[in-house]
Amino acid sequence: MREFPLQEIEEALAQKDLSRLDALAVPLQRVINKRDDYRSILMLSAHNLKHLLKIPSLEAECIMLNLEDGVSKEQKPFALALCAIFLTHYKDSEKKLVVRVNALDEGGYDEITYLNQFKPDAIRVPKIRTPKEVKNILHLLDEEIELHLSIETCEAWANLNLLKVDKRVKTFYLGILDLFADMRLSQSQIKKENPTMLYILSHFLVTCKALHVKPVSFVYQDFKNLDDFRLWLELEKSMGFDAKGCISPSQVTLVNEVFKDEVAELERAKVIVKLFEMHQELGISGFVDEEYGFIDEPIYKGALSILSRLG
């Protein structure tokens, strides 16, 4: 296999030679990462070569290769080419590699068509609005690639329970700043104690869970304020979230810590299932255990759900 052409990439970028960079993007068959248990999603601007080279050493379980916000119009073609090159380079990645394309009316459709041949694990589409748009995307998208959607417009919020039009729609991301702006809500309301904010979080979470879509909570912009970030994580965990977008490695570390695998919860669920099934064989559907309290069929089903999620 050809050595990674780092020097050629650096020279093409230095010379702003897009055609030379494009020539280095050669599609190879990737092993699609189907994992859905990732907790930390780290945003990397796809035009930043140094950041792309660090992907294997990052703690994040999901890497968001960003072509949208934070990438200037002039840099976007170079970011797209780099994205393709690195998808090929990391052809069997333990980290889930997702590409956030631009809005559909700002080049998103063309980017999706181009990226099909490089097989990212998923495509994330921002500013989605309607189920029809989702269907249009799926007609273009390679069948192996997951579709992830950013919920950040009034229309997307109103259509939230209608956007999963196909089993390939796997994840929703809550884009809180854009959503508040589109709803003409003040961003000063993005506080842990604000009832509107709590409603948005809980409605988003419950709707996603009902649709069997992974809910990813919003990106916290003040990345240096880790104390407040931890409080948000603890609140979200208590609500049922298990994944959050990040913009710094220190945020990733905290997300992985707070949303850590619930080993004790898993072990407890295993015991409950075993105890219930033992009693069920004796015709007993409800009983009290000294250590685990009252166990009946709803408790048993809850334990099965935990085993399905964590086991």
Predicted TM-score of the model (pTM):
0.83
What's the pLDDT at 310? 60
Residues 106-133 have pLDDT tens digits of: 999 999 999 999 999 999 999 999 999 9
What's the pLDDT at 231? 95
What's the pLDDT at 37? 86
What's the pLDDT at 291? 82
Q: What is the 3-state secondary structure (H, E, C) of the chain?
A: CCCCCHHHHHHHHHCCCHHHHHHCCCCCCCCCCCCCCCCEEEEEECCCHHHHHCHHHCCCCEEEEECCCCCCCCCHHHHHHHHHHHHHHCCCCCCEEEEECCCHHHCHHHHHHHHHHHCCCEEEECCCCCHHHHHHHHHHCCCCCEEEEEECCHHHHHCHHHCCCCCCEEEEEECHHHHHHHCCCCHHHCCCCCHHHHHHHHHHHHHHHHHCCEEEECCCCCCCCHHHHHHHHHHHHHHCCCCEEECCHHHHHHHHHHCCCCHHHHHHHHHHHHHHHHHHHCCCCCEEECCCEEECHHHHHHHHHHHHHHC
Task: Spell out the domains of the chain, with CATH numbers in brackets.
Answer: 6-260 (3.20.20.60), 264-310 (no CATH)
pLDDT, block means (10 residues), the chain with 311 residues = 82 93 89 90 94 92 93 93 93 93 94 95 96 96 95 96 95 96 93 95 96 96 92 93 94 91 71 89 87 87 77 51
What's the pLDDT at 2? 60
